[in-house]
């Protein structure tokens, strides 16, 4: 099973897990600010503009802090665009694989950049977008990616995302302000450089017509081993070569290792079979709270997991047979009521939670590891479950 590149506990060992409702997402304000300071320094050193990818993290309670460091947001459609306009400061860049006619007017009114996924949509909606003074972009598929998991590669031959490079010749460049591509997933600098080298000969001649080039997301800039000095040199170089404003759209990098998901052991047993694992049922559900565990699949890191010990399969409370989080080591057999915490659970978790099986939704808390201040900003009830249905 795939292990994500996150999993640094940072200061979460200091947090009293029993002081929280369970289950509960917890964001450490200091860890978030540390990430933002790295990104801000990158902006200052390179003149790149950095947009928060709302598809990864949309916790608007932290919008004032994020807006102090970044240049705005990128959204994927009407609701994210509304959220960005209401709570965040700065630019709004909207990309969707396809826009709906009855939503596009409002999207265009609230956005600064509209990025199209196809020539059809660009032709259909261009006049409306320009009516609201949007800068127009097109997403390209470089047909090059180093993403290991094919499911997360946006640059395969049959990807539905972006036009192929050779189709750029069919565009009236006078209508175009920028181009966008996104080929990375939890990756270091080198795959970005390799992608650029793959498309450079096509883009450089075109760039004299462009105002900006958007390099998308997937850059793990705030990870300790990220080659940030090489990234800085690269961004300065392509900015000079293209005379374009460069944008990046990190999601994970903004909140990498800044959040955990706290849960509780609600049952523990050992099947009477020497080949079976010890089992623990938690109030954390993979399918309802962290669906990428099943979709990717991947194994989240566990706070304070020893290298050896009792091997215990952690599973969720839903009736889905595959609602398994992973197998973990415990020093002692888990006890009912014992608290656990999964690491690196800020991105692609809260935005993907669901009420499958009526499983209780995790609360959301903001914690500051510098002061130990803890604020429960959201709790979900039965009424939230009922109101989602009809």
Distance CA 283, CA 322 (A): 15
Query: Between the CA of residue 90 and those of 71, 212, 256, 385, what are the distances in Å?
Result: 5, 16, 22, 34
Cα-based torsion angle of the residue sequence 253, 359, 82, 38 in order, rounded to the nearest 10 degrees:
-10
pLDDT band at residue 271 under the 50/70/90 scheme = confident
Read off the pLDDT of each residue in 97-115 and give the average, rounded to a whole number: 98
Given this model, what pLDDT does residue 148 score?
82
Confidence of residue 281 (pLDDT cuts 50, 70, 90): very high
Scanning the chain, the segments in alpha helix (DSSP H) are 29-46, 63-67, 78-87, 101-110, 119-131, 189-207, 228-242, 252-255, 286-289, 292-295, 382-388
Rounded CA separation 69/255 (Å)? 13
- Tokens for 147? 């993403």
Q: Which residue has the higher pLDDT, 164 or 152?
A: 164
Whether residue 1 is predicted with pLDDT greater than 60 in this model: the reply is no
Mean confidence (pLDDT) of the chain: 96
What pLDDT does residue 293 have?
96
Whose CA is closest to 133, among 92, 161, 95, 172? 92
Determine the average pLDDT of the residues in 313-342: 97
Percent of the chain with pLDDT over 90: 92
Give dist(CA 231, CA 190) in Å, integer. Answer: 9
pLDDT for the residue 157:
87
Tokens of 267: 């049952």
Nearest to 58 by CA among 40, 77, 73, 43: 73
Q: What span, in angstroms and rounded, lies between the C-alpha atoms of 348 and 338?
A: 26
pLDDT band at 389 (very low <50, low <70, confident <90, very high): very high
238 has a pLDDT exceeding 90: yes
Q: Which of 363, 349, 345, 359 is nearest to 388 (CA)?
A: 359
pLDDT at 104: 98
Name the pLDDT band for 352 (thresholds 50, 70, 90). very high
- Please give the Cα distance from 38 to 57 (Å, whole number): 18
Tell how strand 324-330 and strand 310-315 pair up: antiparallel
- pLDDT of the residue at 149: 78
Three-class DSSP category at 52: strand
* Residue 2: band (very low, low, confident or very high) from pLDDT cuts 50, 70, 90: low
Tens-place pLDDT, residues 211-220:
999 999 999 9
| Tens digits of residue pLDDT in 166-221 | 899 899 989 999 999 999 999 999 999 999 999 999 999 999 999 999 999 999 99
pTM of the model: 0.96
| Domain architecture of the chain: domains with CATH | 12-26+258-388 (2.40.37.10), 47-254 (3.20.20.10)
**pLDDT surpassing 70 at residue 3:** no
User: How confident is residue 152, by pLDDT bands cut at 50, 70 and 90?
Assistant: confident
pLDDT of 76 over the 80 cut: yes
Interval 226-235: pLDDT, tens: 999 999 999 9
């Amino acid at each position: 099973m795939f292990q994500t590149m996150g999993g640094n506990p940072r200061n979460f060992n200091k947090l009293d897990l029993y002081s929280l409702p369970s289950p509960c997402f917890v964001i450490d304000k200091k860890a978030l600010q540390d990430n933002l300071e790295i990104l801000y320094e990158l902006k200052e050193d390179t003149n790149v503009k950095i947009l928060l990818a709302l598809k990864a993290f949309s916790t608007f309670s932290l919008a004032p802090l994020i807006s102090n460091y970044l240049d705005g947001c990128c959204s994927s459609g009407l609701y994210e665009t509304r959220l960005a306009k209401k709570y965040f400061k700065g630019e709004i860049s909207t990309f969707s694989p396809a826009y709906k006619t009855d939503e596009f007017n409002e999207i265009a009114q609230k956005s600064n950049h509209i990025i199209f996924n196809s020539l059809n949509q660009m032709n259909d909606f261009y006049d409306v977008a320009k009516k609201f003074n949007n800068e127009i972009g097109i997403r390209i598929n470089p047909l090059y990616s180093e993403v290991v998991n094919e499911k997360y590669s946006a640059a395969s031959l049959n990807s539905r995302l972006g036009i192929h490079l050779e189709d750029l010749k069919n565009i009236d460049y006078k209508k175009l302000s920028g181009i966008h591509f996104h080929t990375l997933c939890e990756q270091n600098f080198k795959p970005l450089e390799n992608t650029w080298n793959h498309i450079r000969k096509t883009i450089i001649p075109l760039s004299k017509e462009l105002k900006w080039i958007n390099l998308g997301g997937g850059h793990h800039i705030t990870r300790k081993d990220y080659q940030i000095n090489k990234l800085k040199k690269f961004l300065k170089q392509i900015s000079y070569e293209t005379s374009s404003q460069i944008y990046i759209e990190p999601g994970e990098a903004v909140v990498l290792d800044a959040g955990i998901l706290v849960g509780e052991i609600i049952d523990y047993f050992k099947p009477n079979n020497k080949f079976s694992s010890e089992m623990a049922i938690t109030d954390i559900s993979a399918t309802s709270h962290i669906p990428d565990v099943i979709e990717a699949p991947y194994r989240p890191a566990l706070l304070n997991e020893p290298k050896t010990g009792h091997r215990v399969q952690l599973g969720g409370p839903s009736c889905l047979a595959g609602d398994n989080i992973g197998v973990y080591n415990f020093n002692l057999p888990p006890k009912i009521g014992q608290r656990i915490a999964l690491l690196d659970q800020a991105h692609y978790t809260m935005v993907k939670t669901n009420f499958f099986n009526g499983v209780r939704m995790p609360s959301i808390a903001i914690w500051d590891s510098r002061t130990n201040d803890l604020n429960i900003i959201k709790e979900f009830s039965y009424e939230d479950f009922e109101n989602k249905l009809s």
